[in-house]
Amino acid sequence: MKVLLINGSPRRKGNTFTALSEIASQLEKNGIESEIVQIGVKPVRGCIACNQCRAKGLGRCVFDDDVCNQVVAKMAECDALVVGSPVYWGQPAGQVLSLVQRMLYAGGPHFANKPVASVAICRRGGATAAFQTLNMPFEMMNMPVVTSQYWNIAYGREEGEAALDTEGMQTMRTLANNMAYMLRCFHADGAPALPAREEWQPMHFIRPEE
């Protein structure tokens, strides 16, 4: 079993990386392999609603000039996902939102039904709002959200400072333990099959005139 962790910070060894590393270390203690992928500092496209990924049955985004399709390809081989983001203006980093929206829409089958967790890192405030924003897309993909002893939040400003947030690091370790437990349950011999899904019945609230 393997967990993909996405470092949504432009700082390669910043506090988001510190929190994700704590999770990865604890997953290893549980016998779970992991890989941390950093978004980096290059631009990440936003979705332009062209729908070519689905219309052409690509299973990936039609634009292949950023990290999105790399993540989709890696998730095809992984069993769970953790997305970490710094908090900017009370929200996840813009590049994280762009990545999440495109990778789930274009590569949805590689993500659906796999356990997922979000992690928000901030200096002082806005972490809960960012954390809730990160979780919302995953709930639409039937991805079981892995919980911890508290919201998956850690605090720090200077590089690596989040390691001093003892409760935050404990929260990360508890998250990793819970994810490992969920994965073992899902992959155990005799585990029940996934529930059958009804065919999607999309609708909106604008009615044509009769």
**pLDDT tens profile 46-75:** 999 999 999 999 999 999 999 999 999 999
Name the band, by pLDDT with cuts 50, 70 and 90, for residue 208: confident
pLDDT at 205: 83
**pLDDT tens profile 87-142:** 999 999 999 999 999 999 999 999 999 999 999 999 999 999 999 999 999 999 99
Rounded-to-integer distance, Cα 166 and Cα 92, Å: 23
CATH topology of domain 2-187: Rossmann fold (3.40.50)
Name the band, by pLDDT with cuts 50, 70 and 90, for residue 31: very high
Q: In the predicted model, what is the mean pLDDT of residues 135-159?
A: 97
Name the band, by pLDDT with cuts 50, 70 and 90, for residue 207: confident
Rounded-to-integer distance, Cα 38 and Cα 13, Å: 10
Of 174, 52, 190, 188, the residue nearest 119 (C-alpha): 174
Answer yes or no: is pLDDT of 148 > 70.
yes
Q: What is the dihedral of CA 14, 103, 101, 104, to 10 degrees?
A: -120
Threshold 0.85, pTM exceeds: yes
DSSP-derived 3-state class of residue 80: strand
Name the band, by pLDDT with cuts 50, 70 and 90, for residue 206: confident
Answer yes or no: is pLDDT of 210 > 70.
no
Encoded tokens for 25: 């270390």
DSSP-derived 3-state class of residue 84: strand
Answer yes or no: is pLDDT of 81 > 70.
yes
Q: In the predicted model, what is the mean pLDDT of residues 1-27?
A: 97
Average pLDDT, the chain: 96
- CB under 8 Å to 94, separation ≥6 — which residues? 88
